[in-house]
Structure 1
């Protein structure tokens, strides 16, 4: 721990002022510093007063700057004020302003070009579960920025963090209880250039879970609802019935089960409403007596937006013959309720209880049309069509207790400086997909123009499928930390240690019911979805409609449990405010069990096989444990005045960590990535990745608030986990995960903040990196040596800010760019090259008008350049093919906030 002298406190204020763009304050501070260099009070008072007038929450921003300077290991931080300036509505987008951070699918964070599996996320230091069906990481778009006090991205490992550390660790710190009465209310609206008109479906906003009649039938007929199985069971229970009576009963029972499904899934066009958002905060603090104060705050927020995310796909082998277009519209509704209660005793003992409820409802409709080059070709005027409707309801409940204690009353030479903090967190997430429906059809189109002529549903097995998915993920996380500073003549030594315990359980269950329509005449299937499924055609037993169950992917469900226990010890030695050495180690025990579940196997054979493997197969992967030590060491050199700086620091650190596969990645299940619409298969043979990290960071802070940071980093990875393509046809893409032999990534990060005068300032950060991964020979990879998945050679963030002298106007122009990054490695598909996501140029503009001390109006334009997401692959003919393109659109929002 470094001591904060008067000179450095002045520096914090200057940096804070510049980072907020208050250039006149920084100038005034410089002048006053020249007049009274020895008086901190004469400088600090007017700065704080001016910043309060402009509503900048100076104290919060100052603490962020303080923490960054005090960190022994490289970390980047963002305050709530900085997030507000850029107008970012959620944590995911806000983190893209951090050096070396990029975003995947609008919600998954890549730190230093390493994917989401190489990053960890905590909420106030505690692990929380993920509501994602396809990933085991928390989607950060779920967390609104309105409840965030600050964000910390630690890029160099230290032992108090979990050992599962790759690119970085993100800690979301939420706002605590206020020191005085607070009240705010805000409302906003917005729109998107690509989302004027879109799609919806007849059951939009409705939940249609698996019918109770079908659940009962699955138990009665032991996981098989075919007419053959129903007839056999009926005959067994009623041996005197005739075969004709048996067949009639089986046909009618199967058809009744089919009719119990919600088939009101017709998709139609509509004019999309504008976005809406609203929030409310109310809190206060009370002094119960001279020693005890109590604070409480309640936050509520809700927002809704409609977006079109249309896609175009082309097959890598035959892009002119095999291609498709998808019209896709989604409604996203998010609701957040949080309550915080805090108790403070003499500023030495602090207790806080927090409860968070976050609910997200995603409802979408999509129509996909295209040609496959064989039975669907433009030349023959035959086009396939898929109608897809999906509702997904995600709920995250988090309850946390935290405490911080200073033991001044012990009257001991060293124990009275002991600081002890602890936390307990209990969180549960539930994700429910009550009815994901896909209906296949055949369009007749003009062979020349492609113009639509007529449509019918497709006479095939699984002509319509109804998917029912449920996920429940629970995490109990608790731990404590203690530190004791020991003061010597020129040495300050801090000893610290702690313990963490995380217990995770996950249950994922999926059922699929299918309507088979093979053998029907065109007259039975002609028309749209409603004409066929919601008519007497399905009730007529003379028509060939049969119900079956099973998704055709194999095992679709699993249960899993995970326990992680970690203990660490550290020392932090500061010699004469010049040299600082910080080191320690963490011992972590990891235990995991994961069992695939076949919900339709009533014989128990699959379970018997699993039990036999666990007992007799030493290579089984259903359950395993690992225990290891993870060391870390950092050396910091400090020199105030070097190169005319107020503070100069150089940090060198080295550490060893591990990255473990996600639960879903280690389960032998096949699922659909709903964002990109691709099949993904897990791999139970995945091994842990072991990482060695080296970081060298230098920081220059000047008295005007200008600063510059440069960081060199290198990571060596054994057994890196990569996303690859399974062998298969060009039009049936299935992704999976494989361990490569080795990997490495290295690069340079640079960050600068510069006061331009006249109310303007500029800040920018740039990351340049290279990576290499080596896969085993003979496994069919087009390129056994290639970049790592998701790695960009460059990532650029730039911001031009302005604050008016009267404090009533501020604006920010923010630019973000990442270089092309590997999407998946080509494998066993001839000599086609790897697929890459292309660079995305994002330009946003935010303007805020502080009409009064209480009222703020904010306008934001997003993706002004109207960029779209493009995935490119070069085929064996040397032709570059856009295998996937997705629209994003330009967005506009207007928000008004009243604060008392």
Structure 2
């Protein structure tokens, strides 16, 4: 292969230079509780929020932070997450007002898709290991390392300007104040797991593009089919070969085919029980009177086996075109982290941490399909065998500092606060083997029993090898200086951040053409044997799939940002906060053809870069203002504290590098193909929020929010033209969009240890697509926006502190899944999914905890429906979810 392993910084410099030549030419600090001497808003006493007090301390701190934030935010602490039994950040966030999840891992805030939501880790940006998504898949982050989650829904200048629905900051546990040792073991299963689980033997990290093929690509200049090999072997001007050379070409090609890992025969197997374990170890040491040193170690691992069976129907002819997919996955997530911190009095803190998250997924699927050419009544059926192994790794190294300087404090000046961070993270996604093989079944028309199978003649068995690496480096600082006057407290804030991101995405696809003959009888394990491929009488031939700019690319982004804010509190009645953020953003993406050894595609790229209107690179710089006005009235409407906030902001949402590339990906969750669009442009958003907060005695509270967002050039998802069952998703810019709604959230303590909490979001939206572009509905609701989202929880704590339980319910109304395009059919909608979960905790001693969890008690399935041009409503996709159950035991020393 061509050697394209490029040093990260050299790659970035090269890409930036390309961008700047064509053009002629964010990070949020870790949130913290205010420590200034100015008067602060007093939080209500929350001792009765939970009777046993297991959540009191954390809830008080987070409520205080929420009240002191000038901009609307919702927070959730580790104790609250533990109560609901949520094992990862993704599920935990569904308890937050207006937050929904797509495919169980991607955040939607206020109905805006994941590209409109940003995720940070301790205030720093980190890359995503997903091939098809911009944001971090939150299901890979275990809740065991989370100290708190902050979802900020109103923009403030200390956040990255790429802000749509909200920003999620995952704040991990810092070093402890005392000795901690906790161990957890658990197991579980799912009702869909049975003896029909599918498995195969070929998936592993050590597979990948075989070395003989790698070397042959160099030897034969990227063309390793029989004719390509003949051309290199030929010594004649007209590329003619001798009979011996012709035979040698066939043998070389067949030997290369033998090098492909063809151990992909799928068999039925009984899945194992889920397994999980975790260990936390930490301690703190006093170093004299002023210094404290602490350290924390975390390790966790979880393996799940799941059947994710699907049923699909073609919207145009659902009774003719349909398929059933038996699909099984084995998913392992592992985390290891270490943190070391040192503190001097309460004035200076320094913390360094390293985290590595791994995720391995092995998948096998068999699709049985009918269409107009393969009718069950005639005994014909199409079959597709698919296997896929994916290995993802996220590594994050961070250094955080907090400093308080009191040397200048006096009558007017308060303590000068400074915090800073440095973060270096990388993600690697490796698919060392993914296979797709098509066949034909002969079946009994009456029973559907499979009588015989053969690999489809004149087809190709496909073996894909993909590798993605993202490197993100960011650093920044934030400063705060309070000023005290007779009738006002004024705080000046400012900061700077830098972020760069580089990416290398390389993909190969090897094809084994099968020809035709009796040797194709049977499943892949019967056909693609060494003996069959070695037999030169069989018409096998290895080729490489080609295509300019459709398989590989290199890319880079760079963002410089600075902001300033003023926060004025007048007599604890009125508070005015205003500021702006300046961002200079550059990006470039260049396609790479790994099979081009002639330089033709490179020369074509150079010519394209020189043209006006090229789409390979772009640059933008702008100011993003934000302002908030808060009215405070303690005692209003029988409250201990009442606040009313009005805020306005202007932000931008930029397409991700994946969305700008012309590469086709596989969505691993729904097994759909996704293709980027290099012509996407940025979306700009105007935000208006009005939020009222009522805090009553005993911890009861109520929050009501009105919000409105006006979006120019919103990025939407559509269905690209194709067959009914071969779904290809794409992206485009609509002309305009808006979303508006109301959020309600409350907590009420009941008698006998019970409490009720919940939130409701009611919203509406409109998206206007370009006219005459083939959309069925040029004006419709935005993709992913639900008209309502409801979360409710009934909790219980026994008086003796030995029992705790929570019954949690979540539902989101139907939402547009994709916009219909050039089909005459209506848009596709994902139907409401009612999630009812139950968690029971038993504390026989202060050190021992037993926890039982049940998920999806209603046994709901995910469904996507679409109304066809004839007015018939068709369920085009149904995915089984099943009811999950687990049991954990934890011991604290």
Which band: TM-score by shorter chain? over 0.9
Residue segments in structure 1 that go unaligned for 5+ positions in a row:
23-49
Equivalent position of 1:286 in the other structure: 285
Superposed displacement of residue 2, structure 1: 10
User: Does residue 119 in structure 1 map to residue 105 in structure 2?
Assistant: no
By how many angstroms is 1:97 displaced?
0.5
Q: What's the CA shift for 1:731?
A: 3.5
The equivalent of 2:729 in structure 1 is 735
Q: Deviations over 1:300-347 (max 9, x none)?
A: 111111001000000000100100010011011111001010000111
Indicate the residue corresponding to 1:873 in structure 2. Answer: 866
Q: Is the 8 A contact 2:114 2:134 kept in 1?
A: no
Secondary structure of 1:247 counterpart: helix
Query: Which residue of 1 is the match for residue 316 of structure 2?
Result: 317
CA separation in 1, counterparts of 2:100 and 2:37? 34
Measured after TM superposition, the shift of residue 460 of structure 1 is 2.4
TM-score by length of 2: 0.94
Q: Which residue of 2 aligns with 1:563?
A: 558
SS at match of 1:160: coil
Equivalent position of 2:371 in the other structure: 372
The 1:754–1:148 alpha-carbon spacing in structure 2 relative to 1, beyond 3 Å, is same
Change (3 A) 1:363 1:208: same
Q: Secondary structure at the match of 2:750?
A: strand
Q: 1:473 aligns with which of 470, 488, 491?
A: 470
After TM superposition, the structure 1 = structure 2 runs for residues 491-640 of structure 1, keeping only pairs within 5 Å, are 491-518=488-515, 520-521=516-517, 523-550=518-545, 555-615=550-610, 617-640=611-634
User: How many angstroms apart in 2 are the aligned matches of 1:80 and 1:284?
Assistant: 19
8 Å CA contact 1:554–1:670 kept in 2: the answer is no
The answer to whether the aligner puts 1:144 opposite 2:138 as a matched pair is no
> 1: CA distance between counterparts of 2:592 and 2:430?
18
Aligned to 2:221: 222
Give the conservation status (yes or no) of the 8 Å contact 1:209–1:434.
yes
The CA distance in 2 between the partners of 1:166 and 1:768, in whole Å, is 18
Partner of 1:841: 834
Residue 730 (structure 1) shift: 2.8
Give the equivalent residue in structure 2 for 1:643.
Answer: 637
- Residue 254 of structure 1 corresponds to 253
Is the CA contact (8 Å cut-off) linking 1:870 and 1:886 kept in structure 2? yes
CA distance in 1, matches of 2:109, 2:479: 29
Query: 2:280, 2:297 within 8 Å by CA — same for their partners in 1?
Result: yes
Range moving further from structure 2, 765-774 or 667-676: 667-676
Quick one: distance in 2 between partners of 1:733 and 1:387? 17
Mapping 1:702-713, distance limit 5 Å: 702-713=696-707
Q: CA deviation at 1:551?
A: 6.1
- Deviations, residues 756-791 of structure 1 (Å, cap 9, x unaligned): 111000001000000000011101110000100000
| Inter-partner Cα distance in structure 2 for 1:444 and 1:323 | 17
Q: Work out the CA distance in 1 between the residues paired with 2:250 and 2:397.
A: 51
Q: CA deviation at 1:142?
A: 1.0
Q: Which residue of 2 aligns with 1:88?
A: 86
Instruction: Please state whether the residue corresponding to 1:406 is helix, strand or coil.
Output: strand
Tell me the TM-score normalised to structure 1 length.
Answer: 0.93
Change (3 A) 1:494 1:199: same
Q: Does 1:786 align with 2:780?
A: yes
Q: Does 1:747 align with 2:780?
A: no
What's the RMSD between the two structures over aligned residues?
1.7
Alpha-carbon offset, residue 58 of structure 1 = 3.5
Judging changes above 3 Å, is the alpha-carbon distance between structure 1 residues 532 and 646 closer, same or farther for their aligned structure 2 residues?
Answer: same
Asked if the contact 1:406–1:416 (Cα under 8 Å) also holds between the matched residues in 2, the reply is no
How far, CA to CA, are the matches of 1:516 and 1:792 in structure 2?
46
Following the alignment from structure 2 to structure 1, what is the Cα–Cα distance between the partners of residues 839 and 634?
Answer: 36
Q: 2 CA distance for matches of 1:233 and 1:633?
A: 68
* 2:38–2:484 CA contact under 8 A, matched in 1: no
Counterparts of 2:704 and 2:632, CA distance in 1 = 15
- Asked if 1:131 corresponds to 2:164, the answer is no
The structural deviation recorded for 1:372 is: 2.1
SS at match of 2:854: strand
How many residues were matched structurally?
859
Structure-1 residue corresponding to 2:13: none
Shift of 1:60: 2.5
**Is 1:818–1:840's contact at 8 Å kept on the other side of the alignment?**
yes
Question: 2:548 and 2:616 mapped to 1: Cα distance?
Answer: 20
Is the 1:340–1:355 contact (alpha carbons within 8 Å) kept by the matching residues of 2? yes
Shift of the alpha carbon at 1:664?
0.8
- Three-state SS of the structure 1 residue aligned to 2:131 is coil
Q: Which residue is 1:670 aligned to?
A: 664
Whole-angstrom CA distance in 1 between matches of 2:548 and 2:759: 45
8 Å contact from structure 1 (residues 423, 480) kept in 2: yes
Q: For the residues of structure 2 that align with 1:855 and 1:4, how far apart are their CA atoms?
A: 41
Match of 2:15 in 1: none
Equivalences for residues 50-61 of structure 1 within 5 A: 51=53, 56=54, 58-61=56-59
Q: CA deviation at 1:728?
A: 3.0
The change in CA–CA distance for 1:74 and 1:240 in structure 2 (over 3 A counts) is closer
For residues 420-454 of structure 1, give each alpha carbon's deviation from its aligned partner in whole angstroms, at most 9, with x where no partner exists: 00000000111110111111111101123322111
Q: Distance in 1 between matches of 2:599 and 2:94?
A: 49
User: Structure 1 residue 203: deviation in Å?
Assistant: 1.9
1:762 equivalent in structure 2: 756
Task: Report if aligned partners of 2:217, 2:223 keep a CA contact under 8 Å in 1.
Answer: yes
1:237 to 1:59, Cα distance in 2 relative to 1, 3 A: farther
Q: Is the 8 A contact 1:728 1:828 kept in 2?
A: no
Give per-residue Cα distances to partners, 1:770-825, cap 9 Å, x unaligned: 00000111011100001000000000000000000111101000000000010110
CA contact 2:43–2:63 (8 Å) conserved in 1: no
Map Cα deviations across residues 5-31 of structure 1 (whole Å, 9 max, x no partner). Answer: 9996561434xx41xx31xxxxxxxxx
1:884 aligned to which of 863, 872, 877: 877
Report if the CA contact (8 A) 1:673-1:679 is conserved: yes
Match of 2:416 in 1: 418
Gaps of 5+ in 2: 1-33
Find out whether 1:68 has 2:63 as its counterpart: no
Aligned 1:689-704 pairs, distance under 5 A: 689-704=683-698
SS at match of 1:696: strand
Task: Establish whether residue 687 from structure 1 lines up as the match of residue 685 from structure 2.
Answer: no
Superposed CA deviations along residues 239-298 of structure 1, whole A, max 9, x for unmatched, are 999521121011001000000011111110111110111001111101111111100010
Name the residue aligned to 1:37: none
Distance 1:110 1:215 in 2: 42
C-alpha distance 127-580 of structure 1, shift in aligned 2 (>3 A)? same
Alignment correspondent of 2:814? 820
Q: What secondary structure does 2:834 align onto?
A: strand
SS at 2:673 equivalent: strand
Q: 1:13 is paired with a residue of what secondary structure?
A: coil
